[in-house]
């Protein structure tokens, strides 16, 4: 499915910044050329992307916060894969 493993540590790429946007009522990802409006799930995942937590730790933290959400692991992995493909994230070993 993906070209990364859960032990890698994601970080926002240089020039990208996660921010809560009160006017829109959601998190947004800001970058020099524009802005991406994030849904609630994407905002929750990116809030944990700090350059310290591995993908596995992010999954563990979110699974603990949302224990009744089916398919959570796969959703997180899919989002991180898309965010990496869109060059929002870089992944470090």
**Residue 32: is its pLDDT beyond 50?**
yes
Q: Please give the C-alpha separations between residue 34 and each of 15, 46, 52, 56, in angstroms, as whole numbers.
A: 11, 17, 26, 30
Distance separating alpha carbons of residues 88 and 16, to the nearest angstrom: 7
pLDDT digits over 34-74, tens only?
Answer: 999 999 999 999 999 999 999 999 999 999 999 999 999 99
Using pLDDT thresholds of 50, 70 and 90, give the confidence band for residue 1.
very low
Distance separating alpha carbons of residues 59 and 4, to the nearest angstrom: 14
């Amino acid at each position: 499915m993906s070209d990364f493993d859960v032990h890698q540590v994601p970080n926002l790429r240089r020039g990208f910044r996660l921010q809560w946007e009160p006017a829109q009522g959601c998190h947004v990802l800001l970058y020099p050329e524009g802005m991406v409006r994030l849904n609630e799930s994407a905002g929750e995942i990116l809030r944990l992307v700090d350059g310290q937590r591995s993908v596995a730790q992010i999954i563990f933290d979110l699974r603990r916060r949302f224990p009744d959400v089916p398919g959570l692991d796969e959703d997180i992995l899919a989002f991180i894969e898309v965010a990496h493909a869109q060059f929002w994230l870089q992944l470090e070993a």
